[in-house]
Amino acid sequence: MCVHVCVRQHATTSQISGRVPALRYVPSKPAYLVYLLSQAAQHTLVPAAMSVIVYYSSVSSNLVMKKQQSRVFDVLESKNISFEQVDIAQDAADKELMRSRANNPTALPPQICNGDVYCGDYEAFESAVEDGQLEAFLKL
């Protein structure tokens, strides 16, 4: 769980993420920052969302795979969806993890997960984009 406190040198107010009312920030009193954090601990905070992971391969002679990977990256970036790229060509353990999450011992990239939850392969991703269901597909 993460608490974000916005503290600017010239700010007059500070807001803690979640359902916490705006509180006055007094730069000359460091104890007040402790007070802000204690107030945040008393409120229900929403945990950070899981991270979208795209398994890809940087080493491939397959032009179709490269285009599919590029398409996934382009769509996610255009929709401002943060994601992590995991290159399975760099570590065999990542390739095995991708295949175990996909529940397919011959799965090829790109494969998409949200944290530990498998979302689907390129065809499912493209179908979700065409149907306008990308957020549901990514489990966001």
Residue with more model confidence, 14 or 90: 90
Name all domains of the chain by residue range, CATH numbers in brackets: 1-48 (no CATH), 52-137 (3.40.30.10)
| 55, 88 contact by CB (below 8 A) | yes
What mean pLDDT do residues 106-135 have?
A: 95
Using one digit for the tens of pLDDT, what is the confidence trace for 45-85? 444 456 899 999 999 889 999 999 999 999 999 999 999 99
Quote the Cα angle for 107-111-140, to 5°: 145
Q: What is the token pair recorded at 3?
A: 């608490």
**Enclosing H/E stretch for 113:** strand 111-114
Quote the Cα angle for 136-70-109, to 5°: 70
Identify residue 125 by its one-letter amino acid code: F
39 to each of 26, 31, 33, 35, how far by Cα in Å? 15, 13, 10, 6
User: By percentage, how much of the chain surpasses pLDDT 70?
Assistant: 64
- pLDDT at position 114 is 95
- pTM of the prediction? 0.64
Q: What is the mean pLDDT of the chain?
A: 78
Identify residue 139 by its one-letter amino acid code: K
